[in-house]
Structure 1
Amino acid sequence: MSLYRLRKSDVPLEKDAPFSVRPLIQNLLRDRGITKDEDAMSFIKPDYVRDTHSPQLLKDMEKATARFVSAIKGNERVAIYSDYDHDGIPGAVIFNDFFTKIGFANYEIYIPHRNAEGFGLNVEAIDELNERGAKVIVSVDCGINDLEEALHAKKLAIDLIVTDHHQAVRGIPEAYAVVNPNQDGCEYPNKFLCGAGVAFKFLQAVMELGAWNIQRGWEKWMLDMVAIATLSDMVPLVGENRVLAYYGLMVLRQSRRPGVRALLKKIGVRQSDITEDDVGFSISPRINAASRMGIPMDAYKLLSVTDQNEAERLVAHLEAINAVRKGIVASMVKEIHEVIRVRYKEGCIGRVIVAGNPAWKPSLLGLAANTIMEHYGSPVFLWGREGGTKLKGSCRARGVDVLTLMKDSPSLLEYGGHTMSGGFTIAPAEAHLLEDSLQRSYEALGVGKKQEARLVDDILPVEEVGREIHRELSALAPFGVGNPKPLFIFPAALVADVTSFGKEKNHLKIVLRASDSRTVNAVGFFMKREQFGVTLEKGLRINIVGTIERSTFGGREELRIRIIDIISNESYA
């Protein structure tokens, strides 16, 4: 049973802070450390110029951009080597936008095949690029831990410019230049840029150097790709990241890219209304489906294509393979739940969940791990195999650094990633040792000894769900890591009807009757009416934990509650 408690901020409001918003919004801002009117206005209406940082503050930026500009001016062949996910691919599109704008044609985009080549730079790809005449390689969202590959590029007299945001766990590669806000000695204020964000800052600096005949401010049109990457890659939406996502969503709502328009039309999202949820739940999975189920270049082509017919063809293809992907992940998640039920009879509190199966597709394990982590609240490590002898896995956690857990696990051959998500490689003979080593690391951190109560922002009657409160809450968007969507308990809500919907009837819809006779819909995706320990039926009063959202699915606008949980009176305080 999940526990919840009201968030109580210990940050006092400034005496002279009138806040021209209702007390609920004041409290939400205060919980984010915002206690003054001027800071509240900066948060609600960020300023692109004032609230972003100079790209020149990034270590090695001057050296990197000088070489890059020299290559363009000398018509040397440039290769952009990007990761194959929702961060790297938009970053590659940004470079394509820039090259197209300045009329530079001597370049290529290289995106490795997830299953055949794996994450990061590889020697075979560098050899291939060398044979095609590449003199400069710019990595996007990868490269920081590819020490051997960097040396190989150096031996071939290729100047490698690494742009990345991952933590360096093996030292810094001997590249021509390394642009990464998380490397030692870098004083860039925003340590949470995503990979495409670093690529964007790199091109910002490039545009400051060359006489490109580009209109001032043109680079903002690339922010749609930065927003997709920032919102998808789960980096904190605070400071500069919030600005990039905020303005990037504005660009997305006006985007002229045929691929973006075709994709939004296919998934039934009105372009002018696109939100961070649409990016995270609809756009990002389809970008990733290309590499998880096929060829990552298909996603790149979709985002960079200029022909509408080709865009629609690519959308149809990605939609088809994404549907297959969803089915496989659902099957894996079901199997993992059964493994957990048998193995962890005493529950998962205080435990690291580890499961694996050679039949599981490594490229899909991150999605399954995230679903399992959200369900149980524990760190999750899953492994599988696809070709070769090594096992590859993904991990997800909330409130604990997975890199710290993996650092002290001697059974791992390789590992990397971010604080809350990562990947690893392990030899089959060592797989049985993984759980114990991770559990020891977890316990050494002193976390997970007991179930932590999840914080909710306020208790809100169903009658409050309406346009006014949604408008005020929307001023705090975009929501994500570091700026969570406000979470409420809707107490003693009267059930008027309960139904299941969706092709497989695996989503839940509860119609609630307000005291003013209005009805409010509450929906829970991938939820069953039997899972909450109460019999959901007409006339019952229930306590719903959820968020307020606006849906425009099917062209019909609706304000509703997104169900997170249904709880007893004893489950919150």
Structure 2
Amino acid sequence: MSTTDVQSGKSSVVEKYLLRDVIPADVDLELDHYPELLRHLLYHRGLKDAQAADYFLNPDYERDLHDPYLLPEMEKAVDRILAAIEKKEKIIIYSDYDTDGIPGGVLLHDFFKKIGYTNFLNYIPHRHEEGYGLHLEAVEELAKNGAKLLITLDCGITDVKEIEKASELGIDVIVTDHHEPGPVLPKAFAIVNPKVGDHSYPFKELCGCGVAFKLIQAIIKKNNFGIKEGIEKWFLDMVGIATLSDMVPLVGENRALAHFGLKVLRKTPRVGLVKLLGKLKINQRYITEDDIGFMISPRINAASRMDEPMQAFNLLATDDELQADALADHLNLINDQRKGYVASIVKEIKKNMEARQARGNIKKVIVMGDPKWRPALLGLAANNLVEEHGLPVFLWGREGGEFIKGSCRSPDGVNIMEIMEFARPSFVDFGGHHSSGGFTVSHEVIHLLEDALNNAYESFEKAPLVRAQICIDKKMLLDDVHWKTFDSIDKLAPFGVGNPKPIFLFENIEISNVKLFGKEANHLELSFQNSNAKVVKAIGFFTTDTSYGNRLEAGNKINLVASFEKSMFRNFPELRLRIIDVI
């Protein structure tokens, strides 16, 4: 699939944007029963024949969800759980503290509750006091309290020593995880992970909660405990939240899980979610992946970043309306505190950046830190800085422990993992994804980190690697901004990693009005008029009229890069554009 230079019209790479070309005539004919725009978008997502397009646009629960017993050691895991239930052994559900692990823990909690099994305990480690994964102290304490079976969720695949200790103490461990294994696998009773070993499971990109859902499917397949057939589908609200929050590609089985997860979320009676949605003024019937990513997920994560992860777990697991109401208020409160803390860090960094600019000391990688900063919140601050400066950002802090920890983020087209790989000697440890990661550094070399990362970035730029570019899907006119266009685009939802929202270019359009809104006037609304004098609005959050170079004013003609979105503010549907860039 070729792309075209936005500025020159030639088929070549430009620094920031590529414009996708028209689709070939044979593919256009193959997909001719779809609207023209949808054909174009399908083709550029690799969907070139009618069946592939139909499967993508119309997820099917039975067709798209694979046999759970194709996952490695699934049968062994199921048999051990069934034996524990029969013997009434104490089972521990040990999950991570993020928006994959917490919903996953709720998932297994709800399943055991549904089948009437009560001898189980949910355990979520404290982010700041214990950190990620299994811990020897926790394992020892759980053994003292009679645990016989421990099921990890979204963790465990690298916890070799801890699982060995559990075995010594008489606890069998079933690892359910989706992370890449280390060089040595733990000697667990069973490991259920699509990224481990030779197996015939057709999809490797499930999130941790997705793996837990497959475990439940497998248990029910062998013993349904007399519960109503298909009841596990009601657990898909948790799978939907996790899949849409955890940076897994929204293709294949994940697309189906996210699709049906949203369907369940729109009608779930789960009291904690209903209370939280009400306080956030989100209409449950119209909940979208954006509501999950920007509203729900940050509040679940705020529990572990600012307080106790069990606060978020209890919100999602409780049947008590009063408790749910109080917990929803609490998560909103600590999320506001989180935002305030992050804002203070960003303000401090911006002041530092201004001083550097005044000295002419601007480097290609932003590296800053302070022992007082909380590492758990630095990824959020780094996101803000990447959006403003378009540079890779590494921030570090220290909160107890021997080492300094930090988070890093990068703009589109820059692989943060490659940069860290070039600077590997500077780190005790690091990991992450293409555009985000975390790292650990010894305090003895932290003063060398900025130079090391800037040198690494130079090596990254020189390396003969293919750089990811942002692709504009199509040029459009303001006259194209209507509900029929939105309906074609929306057929591709839910959007996320592996299935990004389509991006469009509106060339040489005249601004009719500029408005800043919000308590701090830090959001931007641009208005335009189409050929029929109908107003088209474009919104940019946490951006102003000076964020794109010269001040934007009424009468200016601009090239706007934007996506479509439906706002349901005050339950009234409004079609608008979301500003991505002005070029």
Say which SS state the counterpart of residue 61 (structure 2) adopts: coil
Superposed, 1:82-231 pairs within 5 Å as 82-231=95-244
Give the counterpart of 2:549 among 495, 513, 533.
Answer: 533
Q: Are 1:167 and 1:418, in contact at CA under 8 Å, matched by a contact in 2?
A: no
Residue deviations 1:20-50 (CA, integer Å, cap 9, x gap): 2222211110011111112111111111111
Matched, 1:261 2:246: no
- Residue 37 of structure 2 is matched in structure 1 by 24
Q: Are 1:167 and 1:416, in contact at CA under 8 Å, matched by a contact in 2?
A: no
Using the TM superposition, give the Cα deviation of residue 482 of structure 1 relative to its aligned residue in structure 2, in angstroms: 0.6
* Structure 2 residue identity aligned to 1:517: A
- Residue 428 of structure 2 is matched in structure 1 by 413
Distance in 2 (CA, whole Å) between partners of 1:31 and 1:492 is 25
- Deviates further, 13-22 or 75-84: 13-22
**Residue 163 and residue 433 in structure 1: after superposition, are their counterparts in 2 closer, same or farther (change >3 A)?**
farther
Say which SS state the counterpart of residue 309 (structure 1) adopts: helix
Give the counterpart of 1:465 among 451, 472, 481.
Answer: 481
* Structure 2 residue identity aligned to 1:133: G
Using the TM superposition, give the Cα deviation of residue 413 of structure 1 relative to its aligned residue in structure 2, in angstroms: 2.5
Q: Given the two structures, how large is their TM-score scaled by the length of structure 2?
A: 0.91
**Residue 27 and residue 450 in structure 1: after superposition, are their counterparts in 2 closer, same or farther (change >3 A)?**
closer
Q: Are 1:6 and 1:456, in contact at CA under 8 Å, matched by a contact in 2?
A: yes
Say which SS state the counterpart of residue 459 (structure 1) adopts: strand
* Structure 2 residue identity aligned to 1:510: L
Give the counterpart of 1:67 among 63, 80, 84.
Answer: 80
Distance in 1 (CA, whole Å) between partners of 2:146 and 2:283 is 44
Say which SS state the counterpart of residue 78 (structure 1) adopts: strand
Using the TM superposition, give the Cα deviation of residue 341 of structure 1 relative to its aligned residue in structure 2, in angstroms: 5.7
Matched, 1:395 2:411: no
- Residue 505 of structure 1 is matched in structure 2 by 521
Residue deviations 1:437-496 (CA, integer Å, cap 9, x gap): 555655555559999752111111122111111111110000011101000112222322
Q: Are 2:153 and 2:176, in contact at CA under 8 Å, matched by a contact in 1?
A: yes
Aligned-residue sequence identity (percent) comes to: 48
Give the counterpart of 2:438 among 403, 409, 423.
Answer: 423
* Structure 1 residue identity aligned to 2:506: F
Distance in 2 (CA, whole Å) between partners of 1:220 and 1:53 is 14
Distance in 1 (CA, whole Å) between partners of 2:69 and 2:388 is 42
**Residue 55 and residue 383 in structure 1: after superposition, are their counterparts in 2 closer, same or farther (change >3 A)?**
same
Query: Moved runs in structure 1, 4+ residues, more than 6 A?
Result: 9-12, 448-452
**Residue 15 and residue 116 in structure 1: after superposition, are their counterparts in 2 closer, same or farther (change >3 A)?**
closer
Distance in 2 (CA, whole Å) between partners of 1:44 and 1:286 is 31
Using the TM superposition, give the Cα deviation of residue 8 of structure 1 relative to its aligned residue in structure 2, in angstroms: 3.0
Say which SS state the counterpart of residue 189 (structure 1) adopts: coil
- Deviates further, 469-478 or 180-189: 180-189
Distance in 2 (CA, whole Å) between partners of 1:283 and 1:343 is 37
Distance in 2 (CA, whole Å) between partners of 1:196 and 1:168 is 17
- Deviates further, 533-542 or 374-383: 374-383
- Residue 4 of structure 2 is matched in structure 1 by none
Using the TM superposition, give the Cα deviation of residue 213 of structure 1 relative to its aligned residue in structure 2, in angstroms: 1.1
- Deviates further, 323-332 or 280-289: 323-332
Mind listing any 5+ residue stretches in structure 1 that lack a counterpart?
Answer: 568-573
- Deviates further, 281-290 or 15-24: 15-24
Say which SS state the counterpart of residue 138 (structure 2) adopts: helix
- Deviates further, 201-210 or 313-322: 201-210
Mind listing any 5+ residue stretches in structure 2 that lack a counterpart?
Answer: 1-13
Using the TM superposition, give the Cα deviation of residue 357 of structure 1 relative to its aligned residue in structure 2, in angstroms: 1.7
Residue deviations 1:370-406 (CA, integer Å, cap 9, x gap): 3333444444332111123321112334556655554
- Residue 560 of structure 1 is matched in structure 2 by 576
Distance in 1 (CA, whole Å) between partners of 2:144 and 2:437 is 33
Using the TM superposition, give the Cα deviation of residue 326 of structure 1 relative to its aligned residue in structure 2, in angstroms: 0.9
Q: Are 1:167 and 1:417, in contact at CA under 8 Å, matched by a contact in 2?
A: no
Using the TM superposition, give the Cα deviation of residue 185 of structure 1 relative to its aligned residue in structure 2, in angstroms: 2.6
Q: Given the two structures, how large is their TM-score scaled by the length of structure 1?
A: 0.93
Say which SS state the counterpart of residue 512 (structure 2) adopts: strand
Using the TM superposition, give the Cα deviation of residue 225 of structure 1 relative to its aligned residue in structure 2, in angstroms: 0.7
Using the TM superposition, give the Cα deviation of residue 274 of structure 1 relative to its aligned residue in structure 2, in angstroms: 0.6
Distance in 1 (CA, whole Å) between partners of 2:383 and 2:115 is 41
Say which SS state the counterpart of residue 243 (structure 1) adopts: helix
Say which SS state the counterpart of residue 408 (structure 2) adopts: strand
- Residue 570 of structure 1 is matched in structure 2 by none
Matched, 1:482 2:492: no
* Structure 2 residue identity aligned to 1:522: A
Say which SS state the counterpart of residue 560 (structure 1) adopts: strand
Residue deviations 1:297-339 (CA, integer Å, cap 9, x gap): 0101111111222211111111111111112112223333455
Say which SS state the counterpart of residue 248 (structure 1) adopts: helix
**Residue 145 and residue 395 in structure 1: after superposition, are their counterparts in 2 closer, same or farther (change >3 A)?**
farther
- Residue 432 of structure 1 is matched in structure 2 by 447
- Residue 11 of structure 2 is matched in structure 1 by none
**Residue 453 and residue 212 in structure 1: after superposition, are their counterparts in 2 closer, same or farther (change >3 A)?**
closer
Q: Are 1:144 and 1:173, in contact at CA under 8 Å, matched by a contact in 2?
A: yes
**Residue 211 and residue 481 in structure 1: after superposition, are their counterparts in 2 closer, same or farther (change >3 A)?**
closer
Say which SS state the counterpart of residue 62 (structure 2) adopts: coil
Using the TM superposition, give the Cα deviation of residue 10 of structure 1 relative to its aligned residue in structure 2, in angstroms: 7.8
Say which SS state the counterpart of residue 554 (structure 2) adopts: coil
* Structure 2 residue identity aligned to 1:277: D
Q: Are 2:413 and 2:470, in contact at CA under 8 Å, matched by a contact in 1?
A: no
Using the TM superposition, give the Cα deviation of residue 554 of structure 1 relative to its aligned residue in structure 2, in angstroms: 2.2
Q: Are 1:9 and 1:31, in contact at CA under 8 Å, matched by a contact in 2?
A: no
